Amino acid sequence: MTPADGVRAALSRRGWVLRRRAGGGELVFTVSRAGEARALCAFSAAASPAGGLTPGARLRAAVAAGARLRAGEKEGLAELRDALDLLLESLRRREARPAGGAALAETHEGHEGRDLLLRTTFACNQRCAFCFVPMTGKGADLASIERELDAQARRAGPRGELTISGGEPAADPRLPAIVEAARARGFRRFVLQTNGVYLARPGLLETLSGLGVKTYLFSFHSHTAAGYDRVTGSRGQFPRAVAGLKRLLGAPGLGVTVNVVVNAHNHRELPELVDFIAGLGRGRPALYFSMINEVGHQKVPSWAVPLEDAAPFLRRAVARCRAHGFPVSRSGGESSFPACVFDAPARHASPRPLPQDRVRFTEDHSGEAGLIGRVKRPSCRACRYDARCVGVPARYARLFGLKGLGPGS
Ligand code: SF4
């Protein structure tokens, strides 16, 4: 059964009709009983300017004001919402392939509210196996970057912050011009997601800093040349990445978070990786230990690692961070480890509630429910961090089960 068949089946079981409309930055599906004009419920998600799906957008459900649900309709709406979720997920995957060099704007729920992100290039000097970005090998065209900047500027809150990502944005000679174009639209704070290989270029860091790029999310997944080559699918770039990180750590006034995607090939070396970073200079980066996401679990399941195998090394790595005075980033969404994986979960849980609409509570990961979305254990409902945790990708649970999760695990 295709995802669309699932939606059709959920509708026909109850005799419902579904209508779709896009506008005002939203994609809305209204449900009504056959023969009735009045809506019963609406499911909505943030839409792209073209009326398509925004990557990272979530489906929200709202029963229409004054609607009286008949027996069984509440369960029917839950079933329909699951079916729509499956359908949207498959459409999102299709839409996430940028056509004709278009930039890709994303919104994510972060610690400080809605994070705006723009992918300005789909070219990268590396090929990390678990990367979820659809690479075309090209930079987005400037016209589409400007269009998406306009759209993101309309969504921007008072923080006026934009994350620039790719591909590898620092490899793009247009990067300073892109930041200037964002400044012209009111953005003042920038986060650059980078593997850092190009940051040692003379003058680049200073130029970016002068434009307000003061925060870096630096991908660094191994502290040995051989391990780095393996994880990044590249050759010989390790010394340049280390030089880039060293420069960042030595520059005044910059915030640096080192992002380590924990996987089957690097989890045992996490404590040593932290010590290696400490040896690069006096800078004090934050460390973000992230988990392979849903796409990564689908693409390269052999790179995934059971939580119970990774946990001892993660905990030792966190202890090394503490010894070096490095903050450890809290869980912040779908690329984060659940807090219960760590010692002292209170220090790792998200400080604020996270959207739960893609989370299922189940121990059954067979069938389609084990292919998309997020899962937690039924016992997670009793966890004090439940509302601040989005569990793990369903595909992870399908591979390894959920025995690595749970208060006190
Ligand atoms: S026990 Fe469940 S809700 Fe609590 S942190 Fe772990 S996965 Fe999240």
For 343-359, letters b (16+ CB in 10 Å) and e give eebeebbbeeebebebb
Residue 73 vs residues 4, 11, 19, 88: alpha-carbon distances, Å: 20, 11, 18, 22
Q: pLDDT tens digit string along 312-322?
A: 999 999 999 99
Q: pLDDT tens digit string along 190-249?
A: 999 999 999 988 899 999 999 999 999 999 999 999 999 999 999 999 999 999 999 999
CA proximity to 134, closest of 122, 142, 121, 148 = 122
Instruction: Tell me, rounded to whole angstroms, the distance of Cα 313 from its chain centroid.
Output: 23
Q: Is 199 in the pocket of ligand 1 (CB under 6 A)?
A: no
CB 52 within 8 A of CB 94: no
Q: What is the 3-state secondary structure (H, E, C) of 297-333?
A: HHHCHHHCCCHHHHHHHHHHHHHHHHHHCCCECCCCC
Question: 405: CA distance to ligand 1 center in Å?
Answer: 6
Amino acid in position 383: C
Q: pLDDT tens digit string along 333-354?
A: 889 999 999 999 999 999 999 9
Element (H, E) at 246: helix 238-250
| More confident site: 166 or 99 | 166
As assigned by CATH, the class of the 104-329 domain is alpha beta
Question: 42: CA distance to ligand 1 center in Å?
Answer: 30
**Residue-level pLDDT at 122:** 87
- State the CB neighbour count (10 A cutoff) for residue 65: 6
Examine the pLDDT at 149 and tell me if it is beyond 60.
yes
Residue nearest atom 3 in ligand 1 by C-alpha distance: 386
**Residue-level pLDDT at 95:** 52
**Residue-level pLDDT at 305:** 96
CB 109 within 8 A of CB 147: no
The token pair at 78 is 């839950």
Compute the distance between CA of residue 178 and CA of residue 187 in angstroms, rounded to an integer.
11
What values do phi and psi take at 327, rounded to 5?
A: -65, 150
**Residue-level pLDDT at 21:** 81
CB 30 within 8 A of CB 77: no
CB 163 within 8 A of CB 116: yes
Delimit the CATH 3.20.20.70 region(s) of the chain: 104-329
| DSSP secondary structure code for residue 56 in this structure | T
Q: Is 130 in the pocket of ligand 1 (CB under 6 A)?
A: no
CB 405 within 8 A of CB 392: yes
CA proximity to 256, closest of 208, 311, 317 = 208
pLDDT-based confidence at 26, cuts 50/70/90?
A: confident
**Residue-level pLDDT at 304:** 95
Question: 340: CA distance to ligand 1 center in Å?
Answer: 6
CA proximity to 409, closest of 388, 367, 379 = 379
CB 332 within 8 A of CB 289: no
Q: Is 164 in the pocket of ligand 1 (CB under 6 A)?
A: no
Looking up tokens 């995802």, which residue turns up?
A: 3
The token pair at 257 is 């978070």
**Residue-level pLDDT at 399:** 92
pLDDT-based confidence at 182, cuts 50/70/90?
A: very high
What values do phi and psi take at 237, rounded to 5?
A: -95, -5
For 292-314, letters b (16+ CB in 10 Å) and e give bbbbbbbbbeebbbebeebbebb
Q: Is 375 in the pocket of ligand 1 (CB under 6 A)?
A: no
In DSSP terms, which residues pair with 336 in a beta bridge? 290
Examine the pLDDT at 135 and tell me if it is beyond 70.
yes
Q: pLDDT tens digit string along 30-53?
A: 999 988 888 999 988 877 655 565
Residue 242 vs residues 205, 277, 281: alpha-carbon distances, Å: 15, 9, 11
Examine the pLDDT at 125 and tell me if it is beyond 80.
yes
Query: What percent of the chain has pLDDT above 70?
Result: 89
Amino acid in position 281: G
How much is the mean pLDDT over the chain?
A: 87
Query: What's the mean pLDDT in 133-158?
Result: 84
**Residue-level pLDDT at 94:** 56
Pocket test for ligand 1, best of 385, 400, 402, 403 (most atoms within 8 A of CB): 385
**Residue-level pLDDT at 370:** 65
The token pair at 159 is 């923080």
Q: What is the 3-state secondary structure (H, E, C) of 215-233?
A: EEEEECCCCCHHHHHHHHC
Q: pLDDT tens digit string along 271-309?
A: 999 999 999 988 899 999 999 998 899 889 999 999 999
Q: Tally the residues of the chain.
A: 409
Question: 46: CA distance to ligand 1 center in Å?
Answer: 27
What are the start-end ranges of the H helices in 17-131? 73-95
pLDDT-based confidence at 157, cuts 50/70/90?
A: confident
Compute the distance between CA of residue 142 and CA of residue 103 in angstroms, rounded to an integer.
8
